[in-house]
Amino acid sequence: MPPRAGRPGGLLLTPGAGSDRDHHTLVALEEALAPLPVARVDFPYRKEGRRAPDRAPKLIESLRADAAAFAAERRFRPNRLLLGGRSMGGRMCSMAVAEGLPARGLVLISYPLHPPGKPDKLRIEHLPLLEVPCLFVSGTRDPFGTPEELEEHTAAIPGPVQHHWIEGGRHGLDRDDDEICAVVADWIDRLPPLRA
């Protein structure tokens, strides 16, 4: 059945660099957000049995294909698709949207603002091109970006931005699935309907 007009059509979730589509947080989100359609996808290097991620252009191209296939399968317009995921996966989704991939919004869990210990190597060039609503869920002790750093640099995003901080959480957020799921569900519920 197609989703109700004006509401998100589904959520495409991507894993971090060292994980796959069966990461516990992605599985928990799929279960918690039902009946919203959720697709958990792997990047090409995982499907091919490799550990090292491909370069961004190949990852983004695979995202474009997965997004189009998911929207077609579930019969909703591409601009009603929510995209996101953990760490590198969420970053690739945000880069794809900045490059023109249609989306209703971005769910970015443990966004990797910079490599650990290298706060000068920021991954922010595309942020000013994000005009969709963005939810950032991060731990307050994440070495990939402090709350202060994330809030400073995501201020460049023209779309609506919401941050949720998990107190004491590090990059893995391994015991925080319930909190993450509740925050994401609430954020999705509060998204204003798109005009037809």
**Residue 109 C-beta-side C-alpha neighbours within 13 Å:** 26
Rounded to two decimals, what is the model's pTM? Answer: 0.95
Say yes or no to pLDDT of 196 above 60. Answer: no
Task: Give the chain's mean pLDDT.
Answer: 95
Q: Any idea what the CATH number is for the domain that residue 102 is in? A: 3.40.50.1820
The CA–CA distances, whole Å, from 86 to 2, 74, 180, 194 equal 27, 23, 11, 26
| pLDDT at 168 exceeding the cut of 70 | yes
Residue 3 lies in a domain: no
Q: Which domain holds residue 156?
A: 10-190
Q: Please check whether residue 2 lies inside any domain of the structure.
A: no
Q: How many domains does the chain have?
A: 1
How far is Cα 11 from Cα 20, in angstroms, rounded to an integer? 16
Does residue 4 form part of some domain? no
For position 119, what pLDDT does the model report? Answer: 94
Contact 104, 194 (CB under 8 A): yes
Residue 196 forms part of a structural domain: no
- Residue 100 falls within a domain, yes or no? yes
Give the model confidence (pLDDT) of 115-142 as tens digits.
999 999 999 999 999 999 999 999 999 9
pLDDT per residue as tens digits for the range 16-25: 999 999 999 9
**Averaged over 138-162, what is the pLDDT?**
98
Domain assignment present for 38:
yes
